[in-house]
């Protein structure tokens, strides 16, 4: 990529020289005209642009946009090649999500665009995004699906500026990318449960049973918060396991534990408790800055005829329609809980120090996209026969999360002006 950029730059220099010769008589005139335009533009912007650079829409258009529910809609077909990057133009696609490289043959699933029922969702504009987030730190807090979102955003942004790989731990759980020109940092802070959690180990092997501490957050993410401007927080998939929930030294509840002495709950209960503690911490964080929190809602898995270890698969090649999805499902319930807790935290934040929480509600859109997962094409030699119907192919429908992110960020910015 660097080579081709250098080559292009040389070529455009050459062209510019030619142009300059041809138009030399026009130069002084043009410059004075440009100069005047610049001065006028500066004054217009200085006086009528609110202090917030995100606000690029007129007030009327903006109001309409704010009223529109971006998250309720359907997928519409786009022309071929509508994707924002390919596996050639983005060198950082992880092997396990590079579905085409891993042998996926059908390609039409890339060419769909999310269409809110009441308005148009603008496509993500990487140049604008980088400039608007100049100098900021954006952290993704959550599990491997959260990382999947960061990887997708990274590919989209890297089409206009090459990021530096600043930090990577051995498990690829904590990661930091930096865009040197615009000084934007993308940070992955891995956490399974948001709260502190430990797997029960018997004879050196994990049991898949976890102890969660409901009064203690996972230090892996909270210790970074004071340094961060925006977080995209998400959680959910790890709560579908046997969990013992602790407060102090007492076991208070459990999920899927068959213990007659402990109240048993469904995974949504544990998720609700974890979110409540996490959001309260964010609202109470004295050492944090302005810190805006985006809550990305539950990203559904699409195993059919089984689950991951019982032969479940996901080999559809096109999206479902809005009529075909089930809004009574457990996925939707988790999404409702996330939004409820978020709204509660937002109200508390407003009355206290003014921390803001906003939703990136991807659940409905993604419920329709059983065609967007790697399925068998995730390149894992040791787990052949298991399908990945949880993560998302890149490029693919997960790229729309950044369209939504940008729209919500613009709304957030407009609230300050
Ligand atoms: C990109 O995908 C094609 C299949 O569409 C595959 O042959 C190729 O190896 C992939 N390239 C990279 C760099 O991942
Ligand atoms: C743990 O290992 C010991 C010795 O190998 C064995 O006797 C015991 O049954 C094991 N416990 C479990 C729960 O597998
Ligand atoms: C449940 O509590 C009773 C009474 O305290 C105790 O005898 C029993 O061992 C407990 N059962 C389990 C599975 O912990
Ligand atoms: C999807 O996979 C199932 C199970 O392997 C198979 O029966 C079905 O025909 C496949 N469908 C498509 C569209 O390939």
Contact call for residues 286 and 351 (beta carbons, < 8 A):
no
Cα(51)–Cα(40) distance, rounded to whole angstroms?
Answer: 18
User: 363 CA distance to ligand 4 centroid (A)?
Assistant: 25
315 lines ligand 4 (CB under 6 A): yes
- In sequence order, what are the residues at sequence separation of 6 or more whose Cβ sits closer than 8 angstroms to the Cβ of residue 414? 52, 54, 55, 57, 62, 66
313 lines ligand 4 (CB under 6 A): yes
User: How many Cβ atoms from other residues are within 10 Å of residue 325's Cβ?
Assistant: 20
Q: How confident is the model at residue 354 (pLDDT cuts 50, 70, 90)?
A: low
174 closest CA partner among 199, 146, 197:
146
Contact call for residues 395 and 86 (beta carbons, < 8 A):
yes
Mean pLDDT of 254-277: 94
Quick check: 300 pLDDT over 70? yes
Please give the model's pTM, rounded to 2 decimal places.
0.84
Q: How confident is the model at residue 159 (pLDDT cuts 50, 70, 90)?
A: very high
**Degrees to nearest 5, angle at CA 306 with 242 and 99:** 100
Cα(159)–Cα(134) distance, rounded to whole angstroms?
Answer: 17
Predicted local distance difference test score (pLDDT) of residue 32: 62
Question: Given ligand 2 and candidates 201, 202, 203, 209, which is best to mutate, with the most ligand atoms within 8 Å of its CB?
Answer: 203
Cα(121)–Cα(65) distance, rounded to whole angstroms?
Answer: 9
pLDDT for 59-106, tens place per residue? Answer: 555 565 568 999 999 999 998 767 899 999 999 999 999 999 999 999
Predicted local distance difference test score (pLDDT) of residue 59: 56
Both structure tokens of 191 = 């956490």
Predicted local distance difference test score (pLDDT) of residue 66: 63
Q: What CA–CA distances, in Å, run from 113 to 21, 122, 387?
A: 45, 10, 25
Quick check: 265 pLDDT over 80? yes
> Relative to the CA of 203, which ligand 2 atom is closest?
1
Is 144 a residue of the active site?
yes
Residues with CB under 6 A from ligand 2: 202-203
User: 396 CA distance to ligand 1 centroid (A)?
Assistant: 15
Q: Higher-confidence residue: 191 or 16?
A: 191
Predicted local distance difference test score (pLDDT) of residue 273: 96
Nearest CA residue ID for atom 8, ligand 4: 315
Q: How confident is the model at residue 238 (pLDDT cuts 50, 70, 90)?
A: very high
| pLDDT, the chain, mean | 87
**Per the residue annotation, which of 96, 144, 158, 402 is the catalytic one?**
144
Nearest CA residue ID for atom 3, ligand 3: 261
Quick check: 1 pLDDT over 60? no
Contact call for residues 54 and 409 (beta carbons, < 8 A):
yes
Is 403 a residue of the active site?
no
Q: How confident is the model at residue 222 (pLDDT cuts 50, 70, 90)?
A: very high
229 closest CA partner among 171, 281, 289:
289
Is 326 a residue of the active site?
no
| DSSP letter (8 states) at residue 194 | S
Quick check: 283 pLDDT over 50? yes
Predicted local distance difference test score (pLDDT) of residue 67: 81
Strand, coil or helix: what is 10? Answer: helix
Mean pLDDT of 292-301: 97
Peptide bond preceding 395: is omega within 30 degrees of 0, i.e. cis?
A: yes
Nearest CA residue ID for atom 3, ligand 1: 101
User: 317 CA distance to ligand 1 centroid (A)?
Assistant: 19
Domain locations in the chain as residue ranges: 2-46, 65-415
Q: Higher-confidence residue: 15 or 225?
A: 225
**Degrees to nearest 5, angle at CA 96 with 90 and 97:** 50
User: How many Cβ atoms from other residues are within 10 Å of residue 262's Cβ?
Assistant: 15
Mean pLDDT of 150-177: 95
Quick check: 346 pLDDT over 60? yes
Alpha carbon 224 to chain centroid, angstroms? 18
Predicted local distance difference test score (pLDDT) of residue 34: 55
Cα(362)–Cα(298) distance, rounded to whole angstroms?
Answer: 7
φ/ψ region of 104 (left if φ > 0, alpha if ψ in -120 to 50, else beta) reads beta
Predicted local distance difference test score (pLDDT) of residue 289: 93
Both structure tokens of 377 = 């094409």
Strand, coil or helix: what is 80? Answer: coil
Residue 68 burial by CB count (10 A; 0-12/13-18/19+): exposed, middle or buried?
middle
65-415: CATH number: 3.40.50.1110
User: 203 CA distance to ligand 2 centroid (A)?
Assistant: 6
312 lines ligand 4 (CB under 6 A): no
Quick check: 38 pLDDT over 80? no
Predicted local distance difference test score (pLDDT) of residue 36: 61
User: 239 CA distance to ligand 2 centroid (A)?
Assistant: 27
């Amino acid at each position: 990529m660097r080579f081709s950029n250098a080559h292009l730059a040389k070529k455009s220099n050459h062209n510019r020289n030619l142009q300059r010769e041809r138009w030399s008589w026009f130069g002084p005139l043009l410059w004075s005209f440009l100069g005047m335009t610049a001065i006028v533009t500066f004054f217009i912007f200085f006086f009528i642009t609110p202090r917030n650079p995100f606000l690029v829409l007129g007030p009327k258009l903006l109001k309409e946009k704010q009223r529109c529910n971006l998250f309720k809609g359907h997928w519409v077909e786009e022309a071929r090649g509508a994707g924002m990057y390919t596996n050639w133009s983005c060198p950082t696609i992880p092997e396990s999500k590079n579905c085409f490289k891993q042998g996926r043959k059908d390609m039409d699933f890339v060419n769909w665009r999310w269409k809110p029922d009441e308005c148009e969702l603008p496509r993500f504009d990487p140049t604008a995004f980088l400039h608007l987030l100049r100098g900021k730190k954006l952290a993704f807090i959550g599990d491997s699906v959260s990382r999947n979102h960061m990887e997708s955003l990274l590919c989209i942004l890297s089409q206009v500026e090459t990021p530096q790989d600043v930090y990577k731990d051995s498990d690829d759980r904590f990661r930091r990318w930096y865009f040197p020109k615009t000084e934007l940092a993308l940070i992955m802070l891995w956490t399974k449960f948001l709260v502190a959690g430990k797997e029960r180990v018997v004879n050196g092997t994990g049991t898949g049973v976890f102890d969660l501490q409901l009064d203690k957050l996972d230090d892996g993410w909270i210790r970074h918060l004071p340094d961060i401007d925006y977080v995209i927080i998400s959680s959910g998939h790890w709560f579908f396991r046997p969990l013992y929930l602790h407060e102090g030294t007492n076991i208070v509840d459990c999920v899927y534990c068959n213990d007659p002495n402990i109240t048993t709950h469904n995974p949504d209960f544990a998720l609700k408790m974890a979110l409540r503690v996490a959001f309260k911490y964010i609202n109470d964080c004295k050492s944090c800055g302005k810190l805006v929190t985006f809550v990305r809602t539950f990203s559904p898995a699409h195993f059919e005829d089984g689950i991951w270890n019982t032969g479940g698969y996901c080999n559809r090649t096109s999206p479902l329609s809005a009529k075909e999805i089930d809004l009574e499902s457990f996925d939707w319930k988790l999404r409702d809980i996330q939004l409820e807790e978020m709204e509660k935290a937002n109200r508390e934040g407003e009355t206290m120090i003014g921390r803001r929480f906003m939703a990136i509600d991807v659940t409905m859109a993604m419920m329709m996209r059983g065609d967007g997962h790697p399925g068998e094409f995730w390149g894992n030699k040791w787990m052949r026969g298991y399908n990945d119907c949880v993560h998302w192919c890149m490029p693919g429908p997960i790229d729309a999360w950044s369209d939504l992110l940008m729209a919500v960020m613009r709304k957030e910015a407009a609230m300050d002006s």
